[in-house]
């Protein structure tokens, strides 16, 4: 049985829909007065509301630019929204999209006669001896088959859902006693057989943490929930420093370097700056001599 | 229910307990030099941030020179084993200091031994 991909057409349709939606959004943005509160209500209407600070910043930037303000503001907001969508998608891992792809795929059946014909045509090309040109017949048969093909409904019932019983509230709320724990440990020790093959060994290692989980997730243990502007705009940490002089110059270079560093978390960057602060405070007397 | 509680503790215990099957556990380093190298690596990791920051102050054309001299003395006062230059990439199995390939962390002799016994994935004898 062959799996036919009728996905390309659907992709095109989706793209067309998206384009029309974007055009509609831009028209709406142009029609509304470019004032901030209207902008915020618009955004809150569409799915996830953008950070109000970001919206204000975008409107300020748009007002500072000389060209068409409303258009630039709507474009900036659209970009921010897109940026947030991509970050959300990446965070989720995009596993949902695969499901959509599979749902949209249809199954195509091939009659045994056709299969036989294909095999024979594979062995010797262009069997014209019997006068049977299989090609024109194929296309008609294929179209009939695709209409009859098994259409997968929206629910992919590959696996039976584990009955989601509501977890019974512990009637006796006492925590497990030491005897219970010991008993549990004994049972675990008895039932944990040594691994029979390499797969079970690898499973055990994964549980213990010796082996990573595949496909490798590069961001295990790294949960940076900070927004991009916290990484880049670090000048607010520079308030404790003098406003002029070589130290300020030096710290501005440090901040420039930190803002370009994708490997450190925001905490680490802040610690970096605070270390310098402490250091220069200790050396204050020395500096004042100079 | 007590059964649910028990089941939960069993599950936790199964993961916590190491399996009873014997597994090789390395409890000794190959030799004392390897141990010293390990200590140096640990110290270098601990002081890496400090060294980076003090060096940033030293290798500078903006800050005054007196400050840089003070920073020089500070970095010299750090423990000697905290500098990364003292780390030597030894062979992991034999502690050989020379002839070690970085990708495998093995000395050339051990590498050859394993490669010839087909225990190195993707390594083949060259022939062209």
Q: Which chain B residue lies closest to A257 (C-alpha atoms)?
A: B56
Q: B24 touching A, CB under 8 A? A: no
Contact A50, A42 (CB under 8 A): no
pLDDT of residue A38: 42
Residues of A in Cβ contact (< 8 Å) with B20: 189, 192, 194
pLDDT of residue A28: 55
pLDDT of residue B51: 95
Distance of CA A95 to the CA centre of its chain: 9
pLDDT of residue B72: 94
Specify which residues A3 forms β-bridges with. A107
Q: A208 touching B, CB under 8 A? A: yes
pLDDT of residue A137: 47
Pick from A232, A228, A285, A289: nearest CA to A255:
A232
pLDDT of residue B74: 93
CB neighbour class for B78 (10 Å; exposed up to 12, middle 13-18, buried from 19): middle
Interchain CB distance below 8 Å, A170 and B1: yes
pLDDT of residue B114: 96
> Rounded to whole angstroms, how far apart are CA atoms A109 and A3?
8
pLDDT of residue A86: 82
CB contacts < 8 A, A to B, total 76
Does residue A25 have a cis peptide bond before it, meaning omega lies within 30 degrees of 0?
A: no
Residues of B in Cβ contact (< 8 Å) with A176: 5-6, 8-9
pLDDT of residue A57: 79
| Residue of B63, B71, B74, B75 best to disrupt the A interface, most CBs of A under 10 A | B63
Burial letters A171-182, b for 16+ CB under 10 A, else e: eeeeeeeeebbe
> Rounded to whole angstroms, how far apart are CA atoms A120 and A191?
56
DSSP letter assigned to residue A93: T
pLDDT of residue A199: 95
Q: Return the higher-pLDDT residue of B90 and A59.
A: B90
Interchain CB distance below 8 Å, A176 and B5: yes
pTM beyond 0.80: the answer is no
pLDDT of residue B126: 95
Interchain CB distance below 8 Å, B12 and A184: yes
Q: B21 touching A, CB under 8 A? A: yes
Contact B78, B47 (CB under 8 A): yes
pLDDT of residue B99: 96
Question: What sign has the CA pseudo-torsion A209, A212, A214, A217?
Answer: positive
pLDDT of residue B42: 96
Interchain CB distance below 8 Å, B6 and A204: no
Q: A205 touching B, CB under 8 A? A: no
Choose among A184, A195, A250: nearest Cβ to B63.
A250
Using one digit for the tens of pLDDT, what is the confidence trace for A104-135?
A: 776 676 666 666 666 666 565 554 555 554 55
Specify which residues A2 forms β-bridges with. A108
pLDDT of residue B68: 92
pLDDT of residue A33: 40
pLDDT of residue A42: 43
Contact B90, B97 (CB under 8 A): yes
ipTM above 0.85, yes or no: no
Which parts of chain A register pLDDT below 70? 1-11, 13-14, 16-50, 91-99, 106-107, 109-157, 161-173
> Rounded to whole angstroms, how far apart are CA atoms B67 and B121?
53
Rg, C-alpha atoms of chain A: 32
CB neighbour class for A55 (10 Å; exposed up to 12, middle 13-18, buried from 19): buried
Q: Which chain B residue lies closest to A249 (C-alpha atoms)?
A: B62
Helix (H) or strand (E) holding B80: none
Using one digit for the tens of pLDDT, what is the confidence trace for B23-80?
A: 777 688 999 999 999 999 999 999 999 999 999 999 989 888 889 999 999 999 999 9
Token pair recorded at residue A266: 């925001």
159-198 in A: which are within 8 Å (CB) of B? 167-168, 170-172, 176, 180-181, 183-185, 187-189, 191-192, 194-195
Q: B25 touching A, CB under 8 A? A: no
| Per-residue confidence band for B6, with pLDDT thresholds at 50, 70 and 90 | low
Contact A134, A117 (CB under 8 A): yes
């Amino acid at each position: 049985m062959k799996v036919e991909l009728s996905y390309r057409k659907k992709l095109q349709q989706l793209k067309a829909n998206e384009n029309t939606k974007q055009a509609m959004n831009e028209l709406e943005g142009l029609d509304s007065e470019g004032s901030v509160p209207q902008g915020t209500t618009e955004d809150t209407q569409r799915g996830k509301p953008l950070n109000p600070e970001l919206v204000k910043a975008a409107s300020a930037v748009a007002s500072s630019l000389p060209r068409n303000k409303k258009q630039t503001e709507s474009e900036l907001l659209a970009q921010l929204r897109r940026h947030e969508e991509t970050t959300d998608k990446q965070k989720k891992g995009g596993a949902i999209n695969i499901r959509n792809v599979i749902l949209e795929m249809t199954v195509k059946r091939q009659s045994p006669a056709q299969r036989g014909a294909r095999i024979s045509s594979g062995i010797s090309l262009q069997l014209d001896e019997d006068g049977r040109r299989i090609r024109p017949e194929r296309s008609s048969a294929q179209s009939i088959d695709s209409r009859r093909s098994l259409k997968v409904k929206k629910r992919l019932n590959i696996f039976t859902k584990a009955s989601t019983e509501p977890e019974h509230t512990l009637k006796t709320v006492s925590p497990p006693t030491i005897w219970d724990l010991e008993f549990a440990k004994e049972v675990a020790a008895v039932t944990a057989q040594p691994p029979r093959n390499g797969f079970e060994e690898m499973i055990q290692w994964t549980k213990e943490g010796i082996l990573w989980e595949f496909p490798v997730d590069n961001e295990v243990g790294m949960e940076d929930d900070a927004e991009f502007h916290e990484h880049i705009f670090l000048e607010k940490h520079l308030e404790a420093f003098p406003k002029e002089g070589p130290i300020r110059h030096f710290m501005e270079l440090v901040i420039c370097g930190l803002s370009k560093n994708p490997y450190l978390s925001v905490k680490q960057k802040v610690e970096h700056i605070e270390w310098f602060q402490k250091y220069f405070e200790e050396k204050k007397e020395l500096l004042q001599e100079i | 229910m007590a059964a649910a509680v028990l089941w939960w503790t069993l599950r936790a215990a199964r993961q916590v307990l190491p399996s009873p099957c014997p597994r090789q556990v390395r409890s000794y380093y190959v030799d004392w030099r390897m141990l010293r190298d390990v200590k140096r690596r640990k110290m270098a990791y601990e002081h890496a941030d400090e060294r980076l920051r003090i060096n940033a102050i030293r290798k500078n054309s903006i800050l005054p020179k007196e400050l840089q001299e003070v920073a020089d003395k500070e970095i010299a006062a750090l423990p000697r084993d905290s500098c990364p230059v003292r780390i030597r990439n030894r062979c992991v199995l034999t502690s050989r200091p020379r002839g070690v390939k970085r990708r495998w962390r093995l000395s050339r002799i051990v590498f050859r031994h394993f490669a010839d016994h087909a225990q190195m994935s993707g390594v083949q004898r060259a022939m062209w």
